[in-house]
Amino acid sequence: MKSSVTDSSPVAVENLSKSFGREHTMVQAIAEVSLQVQAGEHLAVIGPSGSGKSTLLHLIAGLTSPDAGHVAVGGVDLASMNDRRLTLFRRQHIGMIFQSYNLIPTLTVEDNILLPLLLGKGRSRRDGHIDVLLDTLGLTDRRRHRPDELSGGEQQRVAIARALIADPTVILADEPTGNLDSLNGQKLCEMISKLRKEQKRTIITVTHDPSVAIWADRVLVLRDGWIVETLSTDSYSTSKELGERFLEVLSRDAETVA
Ligand code: ADP
Ligand code: MG
């Protein structure tokens, strides 16, 4: 992974493969996936349930190790680090957002957001940063609340703030609207899109939902672990159109495989 393109990309994935189980129970979750994300780009990976979306994000985050291939974040090959360094690296360079928010119930909104800094170093340096995040995400009057006192949309916004607090190289979002109703889901997408533009964030979102993917710049279609198509969202004026294209790509490949 020495090409200059690779080195300058926030995330570069090369020929990544990962399977689970063995012999007749073996599942190829990710198959020879290569992708790159440019600084400030929002990439979506869309695929049906079981297509390997979460596995791909976990590989990019270094939470799972690949059978083959490489992942580089900020030009650093994840395989070159031992577990301890990888943990520190992840805390500094990767912000994760999950479908289920993963907030700590006993901590306030503020402490949940600051958690990545409390675990690492540099809290004092970024103390003012939290006020900006709370304001941007509409959470200022919730900072002393606990997660169970918040709506689903508010809890997910706290999770986003927590993913952003350490100024990571990349934000990885796994079905971030999966637990929200469609109105709150769209509001959340709008907020993520605004953050990306204003703060020039680099984001990878995985989803099965075209109305989430349409907010990205570029959409990769994942099917049975393979990237089978790249779509530019500029070519689609509605998520319905994008969704129709997505279904077309899936059925096209189903025919090819059959
Ligand atoms: P998605 O997020 O798109 O729903 P996943 O990445 O969770 O898909 O899963 C892809 C495939 O890999 C599925 O068939 C799933 O059952 C399998 N898989 C994922 N994680 C594991 C695991 N830890 N052990 C065994 N099989 C797994
Ligand atoms: Mg998943």
Q: Is residue 245 part of a domain?
A: yes
Whether the predicted model's global pTM rises above the 0.85 cut? yes
Please give the pLDDT value at position 116. Answer: 87
Q: Is residue 200 part of a domain?
A: yes
User: What pLDDT, in 10s, does the model give residues 154-213?
Assistant: 999 999 999 999 999 999 999 999 999 999 999 999 999 998 998 899 999 999 999 999
Host domain of residue 115: 36-63+95-257
Total domains in the chain come to 1
User: What pLDDT, in 10s, does the model give residues 80-102?
Assistant: 999 999 999 999 999 999 999 99
Q: Name the residue with the closest Cα to ligand 1, atom 22.
A: 20
Q: Pocket of ligand 1, candidates 28, 45, 55, 67: which has the most ligand atoms within 8 Å of its Cβ, to mutate?
A: 55
Question: CATH number, domain at 124?
Answer: 3.40.50.300
Q: Any residues with Cβ below 6 Å from ligand 1, and which?
A: 20-21, 27, 29, 47, 49-55
Of the candidates 149, 162, 51, 146, the residue with the CA atom closest to the CA atom of residue 98: 162
Q: Is residue 189 part of a domain?
A: yes
d(Cα 64, Cα 54) in Å, to the nearest integer? 10
Q: Is residue 27 part of a domain?
A: no
Q: Name the residue with the closest Cα to ligand 1, atom 12.
A: 29
Expressed in angstroms and rounded, the spacing between residue 96 Cα and the centre of ligand 2 is 13
Q: Is residue 206 part of a domain?
A: yes
Q: Is residue 48 part of a domain?
A: yes
Q: Is residue 80 part of a domain?
A: no
Place of tokens 């440019």: 38
Please give the pLDDT value at position 70. Answer: 97
Q: What is the mean pLDDT of the chain?
A: 92
Q: Is residue 76 part of a domain?
A: no
Q: 114 near 144, Cβ under 8 Å? A: no
Chain centre to alpha carbon of residue 167: 15
